[in-house]
Amino acid sequence: MNLLKLDITNMKHDYSEKLFREAQQIIPGGVNSPVRAFRGVGGTPFFTQRATGPRLWDVDGNEYIDYVGSWGPMILGHAHPKVIQAVLDAARNGTSFGTPNPLEIRLAKLVCEAYPSIQKVRFVNSGTEATMSAIRLARGFTKRDKIVKFDGCYHGHADSLLVKAGSGAATFDVPDSAGVPADFARNTLTLTLNDVAGLKRVNWSEIACAIIEPVPGNMGLIPLKLAFLQALRQVTRDVGALLILDEVMCGFRVAKGGAQELYGVTGDLTTLGKIIGGGLPVGAFGGRTDIMDLLAPNGPVYQAGTLSGNPLAMAAGIATLEELFQPGHYKTLEERSAALCYGLKKIVPGYHARVGSKFCVFFTDVPVVDYATAKTCDTKKYGRYFHAMMENGVYLAPSQFEVGFMSLAHTEADIEATLRAAREAVKTL
Ligand SMILES: *Cc1c(COP(=O)(O)O)cnc(C)c1O
């Protein structure tokens, strides 16, 4: 098999370019999610024809080893036979019922077993819905309005969470997007990651909840200091504010029980997405029974979804988690990710970070510990690296501020090929 077309120096992208021109006529920016447009690295995005295992093929026939994995869900690799079979089997029985279906209980049990802090869980259709609903629930439970988030953490695109990263001090911040009323943003206070002393800057007695990515991966990868996470847990518990651990990206990825297993810190509420749907649209939020039972129809906090608990999506999630939980799989992921990052560290100059199978290299000389230090990166240089890797058959995230994802389908040969590509790529920097 042709593992990697290292001899290609001038990939053709004619068909992708034609499609992108066409898409831009009828879809804003030509994409249905902004980062896909390659604005962070320049150039034209490729259109994918198909994907299996660790590989993508674009419509011009170019082949890539893929470390984006649909932005996280594809931890088994693309088109895993068990996932495909589960979706086909489910589809034959009908694609949506609008009634309860047995698959919802099976996926809920898998989630609750992996996450002891989740006593009850509700499924939604995206990570955005999960965080939005968890925050409404936290406000309903505490009868408080204000929430705390951390600079540079992304929690989906709900209004109250699209608030600009502040300059360090807690501020009543301005919206990060046009169309978000300033009144909404006023209830969102931002603090700095990894700054224990900074936690004192808000009046916690008026806070409904703090939401945080326990393995921040939306400004590149910035591991939290354990002492910081523990301090946040303590301060929220002391004042009766809820802690929402947003594990949409790190859930089921950094460990079977996510960051909560890795760090031994539990959330009152947890949000999940990405891997839990195995490539179909699923999100979830869950936590303590006394909180979750405030949701309609049991309680006064409204939340609903026409397609929530969709049988195809549940089937894909169940197949993905059951396969992922097979003995040895997390160890394999850890070993392959360690091997790749060890190799990359020797080849690519920059600040390297990894937690489990999430990794990234920041093109900067300073240690990256928060949003401010992440922003010291040379994004132009990252763009050159990204394109050189693509030319050498490796697809990385098209932005300095995203992370790479290893899958169980990546072999040692794929890692070798990736390191060969990196050796070529750094020559162009
Ligand atoms: C991706 C992501 C979201 C949003 O999920 P969508 O399915 O894109 O709406 C929320 N939180 C975190 C931590 C994420 O990585």
Average pLDDT per consecutive 10 residues, the chain (429 residues; last block may be shorter): 49 96 98 94 97 98 98 98 98 98 98 98 98 98 97 91 51 71 88 95 97 96 97 98 98 98 98 98 98 98 98 98 98 98 98 98 94 92 97 97 97 98 96
Beta carbons of 368 and 222 less than 8 angstroms apart: yes
User: Which residues lie below 8 Å from residue 373, measured CB to CB, with a gap of 6+?
Assistant: 364, 366, 367
Torsion of CA 129, 130, 135, 141, to 10 degrees: 120
What residue has token string 């204000």? 146
Beta carbons of 320 and 309 less than 8 angstroms apart: no
User: Which residues lie below 8 Å from residue 95, measured CB to CB, with a gap of 6+?
Assistant: 310, 311, 312
Nearest CA to ligand 1 atom 11: 155
Beta carbons of 272 and 373 less than 8 angstroms apart: no
Judged by DSSP in three states, 423 sits in helix
Nearest CA to ligand 1 atom 8: 127
CA 249 to centroid of ligand 1, rounded, Å: 7
Pairwise CA distance, residues 283 & 356, whole Å: 21
Give pLDDT, residue 155: 95
- Amino acid identity of residue 305, one-letter, is G
User: Does the C-beta of 247 come closer than 6 Å to ligand 1?
Assistant: no
Pairwise CA distance, residues 263 & 246, whole Å: 14
- Amino acid identity of residue 314, one-letter, is M
CA 157 to centroid of ligand 1, rounded, Å: 8
Among 246, 268, 370, 414, the one annotated catalytic = 246
User: Which residues lie below 8 Å from residue 234, measured CB to CB, with a gap of 6+?
Assistant: none
Q: Which domains does the chain have, with CATH numbers?
A: 3-66+328-428 (3.90.1150.10), 106-305 (3.40.640.10)
Whether cis (ω within 30° of 0) applies to the bond prior to 297 is yes
Q: Is 291 exposed, middle or buried (0-12, 13-18, 19+ CB in 10 A)?
A: buried
Among 120, 149, 274, 358, the one annotated catalytic = 274
- Amino acid identity of residue 64, one-letter, is Y
User: Does the C-beta of 402 come closer than 6 Å to ligand 1?
Assistant: no
Beta carbons of 123 and 284 less than 8 angstroms apart: yes
Give pLDDT, residue 168: 33
Condensed to tens digits (0 to 9), the pLDDT of residues 291-344 reads 999 999 999 999 999 999 999 999 999 999 999 999 999 999 999 999 999 999
Condensed to tens digits (0 to 9), the pLDDT of residues 350-403 reads 999 999 999 999 999 999 998 889 999 999 999 999 999 999 999 999 999 999
Atom of ligand 1 nearest to the CA of 131: 10
User: Does the C-beta of 279 come closer than 6 Å to ligand 1?
Assistant: no
CA 105 to centroid of ligand 1, rounded, Å: 23
Give pLDDT, residue 169: 37
Beta carbons of 342 and 326 less than 8 angstroms apart: no
CA 152 to centroid of ligand 1, rounded, Å: 13
Give pLDDT, residue 176: 77
User: What letter would DSSP give residue 379?
Assistant: H
User: Does the C-beta of 405 come closer than 6 Å to ligand 1?
Assistant: no
Pairwise CA distance, residues 269 & 140, whole Å: 13
- Catalytic, 15? Answer no
What residue has token string 């749907």? 277
Give pLDDT, residue 133: 98
pTM of the model: 0.95
Q: Burial letters for 235-273: b for 16+ Cβ neighbours within 10 Å, e otherwise?
A: bbeeeebbbbbbbbbbbbbbbbbbbbbbbebbbbbbbbb
